Structure 1
């Protein structure tokens, strides 16, 4: 009986960790997508919300922020491509990591 309780507790803990990893990736991707929307909509960069999202997106973009410099004349498209790839990266990596956590435990 005690062994079953420990096993069930461990399974719940592993599921919780996997869920946290997955949600962290989703939240990161959402922040990046919001940044793309704000840039495409030409949000006021001096606005506190836009500035906060920009700072968070820059931190979450990792190496993708300046991966592609072309088209140089279209910053909206460049933002869409670079930050969009970062969002996809977070979704894929968090999904794979959550599956590995569940499988290894």
Structure 2
């Protein structure tokens, strides 16, 4: 009986590890989007290669969200578009972590 409990505990640890990995990936994707928002808000020079890389990744990760809610200010538009996309990735990662973890 003790062995079965031990195996169940090991199985739960493995699945919680997978859930943690899924949540971590979702967090990293959202962090890229938030980092781009901060770079835009701080008016960081977009000719810097790292800033371009983060911007390109953020544009790719924002999927279909850009333009969903129209705002007059370009800076605020980036905040809204990438903010919604970041929230999307956190929610999707949470759902997947719960389903597979």
TM-score range, shorter chain: 0.7 to 0.9
1:13-63 alpha-carbon deviations (Å, 9 max, x no partner): 111110011111111111111100111111111101111111111121111
Deviating beyond 3 angstroms after TM superposition, the runs of 4 or more aligned structure 1 residues are 1-6
* 1:97 aligned partner: 96
Query: Aligned pair count?
Result: 100
| More displaced stretch, 8-17 vs 29-38 | 8-17
Alpha-carbon separation, structure 1, partners of 2:46 and 2:81: 19
What is the SS of the residue equivalent to 1:63? Answer: coil
Distance 2:64 2:14 in 1: 32
The 2-side partners of 1:40 and 1:67 are apart by 20
Matches within 5 A, 1:14-29: 14-29=15-30
Q: Which runs of 5+ in 1 are unaligned?
A: none
Q: What is the alpha-carbon root mean square deviation over aligned residues?
A: 1.7
* TM-score normalised according to structure 1 size: 0.82
